[in-house]
Amino acid sequence: MDSRRRAAAALEEMALLAELAGENPFKVRAYANAARAIARGSGDIEALAARGDLTSLPGIGKGIAAIVAEVIGHGEPAQLAVLRAGLPAGLPELVALPGLGPKRARALWHELGIASLGELEYACRENRLVAMAGFGPATQKRILDAIEFRRRAGGSHHISDGWRAAEETAAAIMKAAPGAPAVVAGEVRRSCEIVAEALVVCAAPSCAALLSALAALLQDAAADAAGGAAGRHPSGVPVRVVTAPRASFGAALVWHTGNARHLEQLAARAATGGLSFAAGNLTDASGRAVDCGEETNLYEKLGLPWIPPELREGDGEIEAAAAGALPELVRETDILGALHVHTTDSDGTAPLDAMADAAAALGWSLLGIADHSQAAAYAHGLDAARLRAQGDAVAARNARGGAPLVLRGTEADILADGALDLPEGVPLDFVVASVHSSFRQSREAQTARLVRAVSRGPGTILGHPTGRLLLAREGYQVDLEAVLQAAAASGAAVEINAHPFRLDLDWRWVRRAVALGVPISIGPDAHEPAGLADVRWGVGIARKGWATAGHVLNTGPWPWWR
Q: Which residues lie closer than 8 Å to 138 by C-beta, 6 or more apart?
A: none
Is the Cα torsion angle 536, 541, 542, 544 positive or negative in sign? positive
Residue-wise pLDDT tens digits, 270-290: 999 999 999 999 999 999 999
- Delimit the domains of the chain by residue range: 3-152, 158-322, 332-555
From 112, 87, 100, 109, select the one nearest 144 (Cα to Cα).
100
Look at domain 3-152 and name its CATH class.
Answer: mainly alpha
Buried b (16+ CB within 10 A) or exposed e, 171-188: ebbbebbeebbbbbbbbb
DSSP codes, 144-209:
HHHHHHHHHTTT-EEHHHHHHHHHHHHHHHHHHSTT--EEEEHHHHTT-SEES-EEEEE--S-SGG
Residue-wise pLDDT tens digits, 335-387: 999 999 999 999 898 999 999 999 999 999 999 999 999 999 888 999 999 99
pLDDT score, position 74:
73
Residue 82 has a CB neighbour count (10 Å cut-off) of 12
Which positions of the chain have pLDDT values less than 70? 1, 42, 153, 205, 562
* CA gyration radius, the chain: 26
pLDDT score, position 436:
93
Are the beta carbons of 470 and 158 closer than 8 angstroms?
yes
- The residue type at 13: E
Are the beta carbons of 371 and 381 closer than 8 angstroms?
yes
Are the beta carbons of 497 and 463 closer than 8 angstroms?
yes
Q: How many angstroms separate the CA atoms of 195 and 190, rounded?
A: 10
Q: How many angstroms separate the CA atoms of 217 and 198, rounded?
A: 13
The Cα angle at residue 305 between residues 299 and 307, in degrees rounded to 5: 80
Which of 3.30.360.10, 3.20.20.140, 3.30.465.10, 3.40.190.10 is the CATH number of 332-555? 3.20.20.140
pLDDT score, position 475:
92
Are the beta carbons of 187 and 200 closer than 8 angstroms?
no
Q: How many angstroms separate the CA atoms of 236 and 245, rounded?
A: 29
Q: How do beta strands 238-243 and 198-202 pair?
A: parallel
pLDDT score, position 38:
85
Distances (CA, A) of 353 to 369, 511, 530: 11, 36, 14
pLDDT score, position 372:
96
Q: How many angstroms separate the CA atoms of 416 and 437, rounded?
A: 8
Are the beta carbons of 435 and 411 closer than 8 angstroms?
no
Are the beta carbons of 235 and 165 closer than 8 angstroms?
yes
CATH dotted code for 158-322: 3.30.460.10
Residue 63 has a CB neighbour count (10 Å cut-off) of 13
Could you tell me the pTM of the whole model? Answer: 0.83
